[in-house]
């Protein structure tokens, strides 16, 4: 990440003053979008270093093992990418509605409902060819998660219920539904200690990308992020969404169907998170149980904010955050840090990134005035 922050700085220093005065005028905003979150990230890492130093650990060891655990070896890269896959998808659940100016924080709920729907589809279709089952799982996951967040969107549009609160409440309702079904009608009698549904059986799992241990969920995530980017920035629909997000009254005056926009975007957002749930079932867990509530939905919110709600920027940010959580194990083993240190670091990063929002448009040399 240090290289990313260093690049624009050196570019500014080398090119801007003499050779191309218009450079900053044209690219100042883009540079800001990389420089400010990058600086926030570096600041957060520095503060976390001080924090662990207070507990008698060497911060340099910390950074080394974090790098090792996240990106140091091919093994850790694979671990990182596996964790990044659901993060990309749950981040889209916050980033897409953000284009409309909505703050949806219920990705975790859509993930759980998506996982539950996908598992139900797979169990209902047992005996069919694996490809049919896999396609049915994708559809069920997307529709389940999509409808879940669409509910928040519909409540906002037709009842004026705040979408942030309703989506957060729906997380806990989704968790209760999942636990209720998993310990009730959907329970596999053989699962004694950890109530679970029956397994979707190994042939129906989506498997790994050839030559790696990374499952196909990563490709799902990449495709979804690129598709979301194209939808938002290169289609009429996306343009309409951004207009509505910028000024809802202007959008109504020019005759945009704001209700339809909200419902569609919320469905797509929830569908992405639901797909994350499907991926976790079909590539990792093989069944639905309470393990699925691992916090990917909440970390996804952080990813979306760090990526400034840009679907393409979500990809590197999700890999970075996936790396941080992948390094947790190594930090625990080598430095004896508690497993919660990843949570602490995520919290510090989040706080720094949000506080850095105040800096936009205020950095003198990026304003491009000469």
Positions that interact with another protein (CB under 8 A): 103, 105, 155, 157-162, 164-166, 168-170, 172-173, 175-177, 179-180, 183-184, 298, 301-302, 305, 337-348, 350-351, 354-355, 357-358, 360
Q: Cβ closer to another protein: 76 or 166? A: 166
- Smallest gap from Cβ 288 to another protein, in A, equals 14
Q: Cβ closer to another protein: 135 or 343? A: 343
Alpha-carbon distance 39 to 18, whole Å? 26
- Smallest gap from Cβ 266 to another protein, in A, equals 16
| Contact by Cβ (8 Å): 353, 40 | yes
Q: Cβ closer to another protein: 218 or 324? A: 324
Cα end-to-end span (Å), the chain:
30
- Smallest gap from Cβ 274 to another protein, in A, equals 20
- Smallest gap from Cβ 92 to another protein, in A, equals 17
Q: Cβ closer to another protein: 101 or 129? A: 101
- Smallest gap from Cβ 84 to another protein, in A, equals 18
Alpha-carbon distance 213 to 79, whole Å? 8
Burial of 63 (0-12, 13-18, 19+ CB in 10 A): middle
Q: Cβ closer to another protein: 7 or 188? A: 188
Angle at alpha carbon of residue 212, lines to 136 and 79, rounded to 5°:
90
Q: H helices of the chain, where?
A: 2-15, 22-54, 59-67, 74-98, 107-124, 130-154, 163-182, 217-234, 236-246, 248-253, 258-279, 296-306, 311-326, 328-330, 341-355
């Amino acid at each position: 990440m240090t290289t990313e922050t260093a690049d624009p700085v050196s570019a500014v220093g080398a090119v801007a003053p003499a050779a191309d005065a218009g450079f900053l005028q044209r690219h100042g905003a883009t540079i800001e979008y990389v420089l400010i979150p990058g600086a926030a990230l570096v600041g957060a890492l520095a503060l976390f270093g001080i924090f662990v130093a207070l507990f008698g650990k060497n911060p340099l060891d910390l950074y080394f093992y974090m790098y090792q655990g996240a990106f140091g070896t091919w093994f850790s890269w694979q671990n990182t990418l596996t964790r990044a896959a659901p993060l990309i998808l749950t981040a889209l659940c916050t980033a897409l509605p953000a284009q409309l100016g909505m703050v949806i924080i219920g990705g975790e709920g859509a993930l759980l409902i998506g996982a539950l729907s996908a598992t139900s589809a797979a169990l209902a279709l047992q005996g069919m060819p694996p490809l049919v089952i896999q396609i049915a799982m994708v559809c069920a996951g997307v529709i389940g998660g999509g409808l879940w967040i669409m509910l928040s969107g519909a409540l906002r549009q037709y009842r004026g219920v705040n979408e942030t609160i309703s989506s957060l409440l729906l997380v806990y309702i989704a968790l209760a539904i999942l636990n209720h079904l998993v310990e009730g009608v959907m329970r596999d009698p053989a699962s004694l200690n950890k109530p679970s549904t029956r397994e979707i059986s190994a042939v129906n799992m989506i498997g790994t990308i050839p030559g790696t241990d990374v499952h196909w969920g990563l490709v799902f995530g990449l495709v979804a992020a690129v598709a979301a980017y194209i939808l938002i920035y290169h289609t009429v629909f996306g343009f309409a969404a951004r207009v509505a997000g910028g000024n809802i009254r202007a959008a109504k005056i020019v005759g945009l169907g704001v209700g339809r926009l909200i419902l569609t975007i919320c469905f797509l957002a929830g569908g992405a998170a639901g797909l994350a749930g499907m991926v976790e079932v079909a590539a990792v867990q093989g069944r639905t149980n309470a393990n699925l509530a691992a916090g990917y939905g909440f970390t996804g919110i952080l990813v979306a904010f760090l990526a400034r709600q840009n679907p393409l920027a979500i990809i590197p940010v999700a890999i970075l955050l996936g790396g941080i959580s992948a390094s947790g194990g190594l930090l625990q083993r080598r430095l004896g840090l508690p497993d919660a240190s990843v949570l602490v670091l995520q919290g510090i990063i989040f706080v720094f990134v949000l506080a850095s929002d105040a800096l936009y448009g205020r950095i003198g040399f990026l304003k491009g005035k000469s």
